[in-house]
Structure 1
Amino acid sequence: MAQLQDSAELLATELVTNAYRYSSGPAALRLRGVGSNRLRVSVWEANPYIPTPFDKRSGPAVGPVPAEADGGRGLFLVCHYVEAWGGYPLGDHLFGRGGKLLWYEVGVPAAHWVAA
């Protein structure tokens, strides 16, 4: 999955940065292979608010952010460059604190698959 490294790292920094900026509690990053050609990146944080578009599982793409806006471009980039994304509240069962989990998946295009 070396082809996914650069984009997965760049997009993960957006979710981790948002967790740092908007949550006063702990956060965690998880990477998991999904099959041989997909990677799921998840970020858990203590803040329960789920931002748009992550509040709708793999919903419609987010539109461009107005030039005068102070923020919102990072999540636009995440949703534009991934294959699927979503978010859900966790209640009080994870680490006894609740919060939310935001995730996305990136995949290797079929043209790059290597026959085993």
Structure 2
Amino acid sequence: MRTVSPPHTWSYALRLPHDPRAARVARMTVRAALAGHGRHELVDDVELMASELVTNAYRHAGGPCSVRISALGDGRLRVGVRDSHPYVPPPFAEPGSPLVRAVPGATGGRGLHLVQECAGTWGAWSLGEALPGRRGAGKVLWCEVGAVARPVPE
């Protein structure tokens, strides 16, 4: 039996421990995956978005996280980061809502602004509250870059 997938779709998943080096590992993985698929034009944006989402998971979720990078076949790339904390921050909770601005001089609070600036679209999937013995609690924050290729009328 053969598995067949469209030629321009692929996906990589990586589970990261709760470790301050996790964002660096995510950046290296993004760079390698996109280079291997010839998507050099998206490396900087996707690397930044993955890094910021993983850093957010490290700082606020208190546990491991997972990163998935997927080519959607129409030129778009999706980055999703899953963690165990159920809180979905704006603008992911309600796309279109403004972000809370970082306090001037603060050393943090700008990551989701950067994701919002780089991404064409973003969203979240809530996976529910953590209960004893329950897998799947937390959330997935995702964002996409890249344009859908449209044929030019003649």
TM-score range, shorter chain: 0.7 to 0.9
TM-score (norm: length of structure 2): 0.61
Q: 1:101 to 1:73 in 2, by over 3 A?
A: same
Q: 1:65 to 1:109 in 2, by over 3 A?
A: farther
**Aligned residues: CA RMSD:** 2.6
Structure possessing the higher relative contact order (Cα contacts under 8 Å, 6 or more residues apart): 1
Structure 2, unmatched stretches of 5+, are 1-38, 150-154
The aligned length equals 109
**Which one of 106, 111, 115 corresponds to residue 145 of structure 2?**
106
**Which one of 5, 10, 20 corresponds to residue 48 of structure 2?**
10
1:1-116 correspondence runs (5 A)? 1-57=39-95, 59-60=96-97, 62=99, 65-69=102-106, 71-91=108-128, 96-108=135-147
Structure 1, unmatched stretches of 5+, are 111-116
| 4+ residue runs over 6 A deviation | none
Larger Rg over CA atoms: 2
Percent identical: 44
Q: 1:52 to 1:35 in 2, by over 3 A?
A: same
